[in-house]
Amino acid sequence: MKFRIKEAAAKVGLPTHTIRYYEQEGLLPLVKRDGNGDRIFDEKDLEWLELILCSRKTDIALSELRKVVELTQEGEYTFSLRKRIYEKHKEKIMEKQRELDKAFREIENKIKYYDNLEKKYREENLSAKA
């Protein structure tokens, strides 16, 4: 199945200008064009866009994604190099997750602190009215 850029954008949940940007950045070198120069996406292109989207959600650098694209174009012998890029990125994500977990606990503690203050305030006001 073939898709124009608007259809591809809708399928993966990206604005068309973002897809154009990714292409300019060298992340979509295999997207074909029709006789009018319009981009034509196939299922493989959509899968790649979804991988880019997922990777970007985890803050992977465009330069790292570009390197994966370049290595992919070089052939199968680069599997281990591509894997290593994702392994390093996974380590960064795991560290970020630990930081977020710590921050989450701190925020939870602050909420509990305010819950206790509110409870104490209510109790003091009820006893003062009695």
In a domain, 35, yes or no: yes
pLDDT value at position 69? 93
Q: Which domain holds residue 104?
A: 78-130
In a domain, 96, yes or no: yes
Low-confidence ranges of the chain (pLDDT < 70): 130
Separation CA 35–CA 27 (nearest Å): 22
pLDDT value at position 123? 86
41 CB burial (10 A radius; 0-12, 13-18, 19+)? buried
Separation CA 25–CA 50 (nearest Å): 16
Record the pTM.
0.75
Q: What is the CATH number of the domain that holds 46?
A: 1.10.1660.10
Q: Pick from 63, 61, 109, 68: which is nearest to 85 by CA? A: 68
